[in-house]
C-alpha cells in the first residue's frame, strides 16, 4: 500500500493585505499595498496589475495608479497569524511554523479523530475563514515539497490534494521556478540550458545538474525533481543567528552617520539576546553602497557578546575595516549587524547580574560584565515602561527609520 498524503502546507493569502481589507471594509475589492518605500504585500486586486512584494512603491504606483498604500496594524498581523497557526495545532502537535503566515503540519494518525487529511484541510480553511475572516490556501501531499507546491498552485484561496499515485503527473509539467531552492538566478541558468519544467530537470543526470548549479544545490534539486524529499516536520526550530539591518537612503560614509545607526541595531540585537540569555561569538557587519553592492566583514571572538555597547563597538570597528578597504566609496545605503555562533550565557543564567552591581569589581572580571549589568537594568526598565522609555543617547540621534520597529518583530525567528 502506498504511503498516504498526510502533510499539509497552509499559507495565508497576501497576508498583510488581507488583514488590512478585513479591518477596513472600504479596502475590500480594491488594489492595495502594505508598505510604502517597498511593497511588503499586495492584494490580489493589485497583483492583477503586476504589483508584487519586494517591488519599490513608485514602481508599483506606475503599474497601478489607483493603488492604495496602507498598513501598520502590526499587532493584528501577529495576533491573526498566531490564531491561524493555532487552528492547525487543534489537529496535530506536528506543526512546523515557517513564518508569520505559513506552516506545515503532519496529520498522520489523526484520521480516527478528525477525518482524512483532505477533510482536515477543508475544515482548517473553513475555520480560518469563519473564525478569523481570512483566506488561506492549503496543499496536501505525501511530502513537504509537494505540499508546498500544491498550496502555491491552490492560490488564491484554494485547496489542492496531490494523490500519491499521481505525484509525477502533477509535478513534472510545472515550471522549475516553483521548486524549493530555485530563485531567479538558478531559474535563469536552467532556462539557458532549455530547462523550463520540473520534468525536464528530472531528465538530466545529477552530475550534470551539480556541475551547473554546484554540488549541494544540484543534488538537492535533482532529488526534488524525482520527487525524493527526505524532510520531515521539525517543531520548535530555534534561530542560529540574530541580526538587524536598516536601509538608510543615500548617506555619506562617515562616522557621524554610521555610528548612531550601528548603536541602534546593536541595541535591538543585544536586547533580544539577553531576554533569552544567549550570547554569540561571531559578529558580522554589512555595508551596502550606492550601487547596491554589499560588503561584509566579520570576526569570531573567544569572549561571547551580548552587551549592547560592546557589540556596537565591534560593529564600528568592522565598518571601519570596510571603509579602509573601499576608500573610494563615499555613499552608503544600508547597515547591518548579525551575531552568530550563539550559545547560552551561563553567567546570566544564574540571574545574579542586577545584584552583582553592588559588589566590588573583582580582578579578572571581564570588561563586558559591567556593561551587561547596565544593560539588564535598562532591559528591566523597558520591561515596565516600554522600549522607548530608555536607551543609549548614541543610538537615538537623528534616526529616520524606514520601517517601524514594530514591523521588524514580525519577521524575527524565536531564539
Partner DNA sequence: TCTGGGGTCCTAGGACCC
Q: Which of 134, 130, 133, 154 is nearest to 8 (CA)?
A: 154
When asked if residue 381 is in the footprint of DNA (CB under 7 A), the reply is no
Q: Is 359 a catalytic residue?
A: no
Residue 2's CB is within 10 A of a number of other CB atoms, namely 9
The grid coordinates listed for 86 are 493555532
Region binding DNA by CB under 7 A among candidate stretches 56-64, 68-76, 364-372, 381-389: 56-64
Span 207-246, contacts to DNA by CB under 7 A: 214-217, 239-246
Which residue in 160, 171, 198, 336 binds DNA (CB under 7 A)? 336
Residue 228, exposed/middle/buried by CB under 10 A (0-12, 13-18, 19+)? Answer: exposed
How many amino acids of this chain bind DNA (CB under 7 A)? Answer: 69
When asked if residue 361 is in the footprint of DNA (CB under 7 A), the reply is no
Q: Measured from the CB of residue 215, what is the shortest distance to DNA in angstroms?
A: 3
Helix, strand, or coil here: 366? coil
When asked if residue 293 is in the footprint of DNA (CB under 7 A), the reply is yes
In the DSSP assignment, the letter for residue 140 is: E
Helix, strand, or coil here: 182? coil
Residue 232's CB is within 10 A of a number of other CB atoms, namely 12
Q: Pick the closer one to DNA by CB: 29 or 414.
A: 414
Span 165-194, contacts to DNA by CB under 7 A: 179-187
**H-helix or E-strand containing 231?**
none
**Please, which residues have CB within 8 angstroms of residue 31's CB and are 6 or more apart in sequence?**
42, 43, 45, 46, 48, 49, 51, 64, 66, 67, 68
C-alpha to C-alpha distance for 414 and 397, rounded to whole angstroms:
29
The grid coordinates listed for 51 are 504589483
C-alpha to C-alpha distance for 172 and 168, rounded to whole angstroms:
6
Q: Pick the closer one to DNA by CB: 81 or 353.
A: 81
C-alpha to C-alpha distance for 110 and 122, rounded to whole angstroms:
14
When asked if residue 294 is in the footprint of DNA (CB under 7 A), the reply is yes
Which residue in 4, 22, 38, 377 binds DNA (CB under 7 A)? 38
Q: Pick the closer one to DNA by CB: 121 or 242.
A: 242
Contact string (CB under 7 A) for DNA, positions 382-401, x = contact:
-------------------x
Q: Pick the closer one to DNA by CB: 90 or 191.
A: 191
Contact set with DNA (CB under 7 A): 37-38, 40, 53-54, 56, 58-59, 98-102, 148, 179-187, 214-217, 239-247, 249-250, 268, 272, 281-282, 284, 291-300, 321, 333-334, 336, 338, 340-341, 401-403, 407-408, 411-413, 415
Amino acid at each position: 500500500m502506498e504511503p498516504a498524503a498526510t502533510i499539509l502546507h497552509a499559507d495565508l493569502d497576501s497576508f498583510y493585505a488581507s488583514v488590512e481589507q478585513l479591518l477596513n471594509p472600504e479596502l475590500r475589492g480594491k488594489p492595495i499595498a502594505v508598505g510604502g518605500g517597498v511593497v511588503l504585500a499586495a492584494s490580489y486586486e493589485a497583483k492583477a496589475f503586476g504589483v508584487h512584494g519586494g517591488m519599490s512603491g513608485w514602481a508599483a504606483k506606475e503599474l497601478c495608479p489607483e493603488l492604495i498604500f496602507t498598513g501598520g496594524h502590526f499587532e493584528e498581523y501577529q495576533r491573526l497569524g498566531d490564531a491561524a497557526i493555532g487552528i492547525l495545532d487543534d489537529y496535530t502537535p506536528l506543526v512546523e511554523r515557517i513564518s508569520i503566515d505559513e506552516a506545515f503540519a503532519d496529520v498522520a494518525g489523526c484520521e480516527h479523530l478528525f477525518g482524512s487529511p483532505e477533510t482536515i484541510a477543508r475544515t482548517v480553511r473553513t475555520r480560518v475563514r469563519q473564525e478569523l475572516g481570512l483566506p488561506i490556501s492549503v496543499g496536501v501531499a505525501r511530502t513537504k515539497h509537494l505540499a508546498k507546491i500544491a498550496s502555491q498552485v491552490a492560490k488564491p484561496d484554494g485547496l489542492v490534494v496531490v494523490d500519491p499515485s499521481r505525484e509525477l503527473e502533477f509535478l513534472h509539467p510545472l515550471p522549475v521556478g516553483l521548486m524549493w531552492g530555485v530563485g531567479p538566478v538558478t531559474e535563469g541558468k536552467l532556462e539557458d540550458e532549455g530547462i523550463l519544467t520540473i520534468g525536464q530537470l528530472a531528465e538530466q543526470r545529477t552530475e550534470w545538474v551539480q556541475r551547473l548549479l554546484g554540488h549541494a544545490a544540484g543534488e538537492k534539486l535533482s532529488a526534488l525533481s524525482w520527487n525524493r524529499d527526505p524532510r520531515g516536520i521539525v517543531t520548535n526550530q530555534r534561530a542560529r543567528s540574530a541580526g538587524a539591518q536598516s536601509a538608510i537612503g543615500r548617506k555619506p560614509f562617515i562616522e557621524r552617520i554610521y555610528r548612531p545607526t550601528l548603536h541602534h541595531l546593536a541595541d535591538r540585537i543585544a536586547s533580544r539576546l539577553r531576554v533569552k540569555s544567549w550570547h554569540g561569538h561571531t559578529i558580522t557587519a554589512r555595508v551596502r553602497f550606492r550601487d547596491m553592492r554589499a560588503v561584509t566583514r566579520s570576526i569570531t571572538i573567544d569572549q561571547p557578546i551580548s552587551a549592547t555597547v560592546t557589540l556596537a563597538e565591534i560593529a564600528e570597528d568592522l565598518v571601519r575595516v570596510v571603509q579602509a578597504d573601499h576608500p573610494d566609496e563615499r555613499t552608503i545605503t544600508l547597515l547591518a549587524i548579525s551575531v552568530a555562533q550563539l550559545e547560552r550565557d551561563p553567567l546570566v543564567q544564574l540571574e545574579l547580574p542586577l545584584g552583582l552591581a553592588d559588589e566590588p569589581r573583582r580582578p579578572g572580571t571581564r570588561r563586558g560584565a559591567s556593561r551587561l549589568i547596565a544593560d539588564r537594568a535598562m532591559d528591566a526598565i523597558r520591561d515596565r515602561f516600554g522600549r522607548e522609555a530608555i536607551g543609549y543617547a548614541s543610538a537615538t540621534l537623528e534616526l529616520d527609520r524606514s520601517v517601524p520597529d514594530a514591523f521588524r518583530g514580525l519577521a524575527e525567528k524565536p531564539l
